[in-house]
Amino acid sequence: MTDTDLVEFRWAELSDSNAITRLINKAFLVEREFIDGDRTSFDVVCELLTKGQFLLAEEAEVLIGCVYIEQRGDGAYLGLLSIEPTRQGTGLGTRVTLRAEDFARDAGATRIDLKVVSGRSRLPAFYARLGYSRTGTEPFPADVPTKVPCHFINMSKQL
């Protein structure tokens, strides 16, 4: 048995918002090299829960991973994949992503879209290994302070 065999998945409730916010900001600390400030806030997480869902990965009732998924027309949007830093590189991110894809597929989505910040050079390759293709780029929000120029890389996968 591996550590990932002990992982349980469930859908977030509003009461999970603080834990989700903490995990996202901890997992996204790597972005501090090029973006100032936290990745998200409690208020943003609560707002997202009114539009979509967070799939949570827990071990012994401790949150170790999450991802946001939102149905958008005939597709779905995946975002904020966050894995406890000590668990990154263990395959947990792949498991969480594949579970979210299954949910989107079961809900009738024919594709799933996501975007990554250009400064996260490893992420496009991670998602490409899972079958995602680059579909373009878009500007980074002008109101987010950055230390270097950034843009979004859009990716999509047919389900």
Domain containing residue 80: CATH number: 3.40.630.30
Write the single-letter amino acid at 34. F
Residue span of the structural domain in which 136 resides = 3-158
Query: How far, in Å, CA of 98 to CA of 91, rounded?
Result: 11
**Number of domains, the chain:** 1
Looking up tokens 């901890």 gives 26
pTM, two decimals, is: 0.92
Looking up tokens 């400030």 gives 37
Q: Is 83 exposed, middle or buried (0-12, 13-18, 19+ CB in 10 A)?
A: buried
Neighbours of 50 (CB within 10 A): 7
Provide the residue-wise pLDDT of the chain in tens; the chain has 159 residues.
445 579 999 999 999 999 999 999 999 998 888 888 889 999 999 999 999 999 999 999 999 999 999 999 999 999 999 999 999 999 999 999 999 999 999 999 999 999 999 989 899 999 999 999 999 999 998 888 888 899 999 999 999
Query: How far, in Å, CA of 134 to CA of 82, rounded?
Result: 21
Query: How far, in Å, CA of 73 to CA of 84, rounded?
Result: 31
**Helix, strand, or coil (residue 33):** helix
Q: What is the pLDDT of residues 46-62, one digit of tens each?
A: 999 999 999 999 999 99
pLDDT at 35: 85
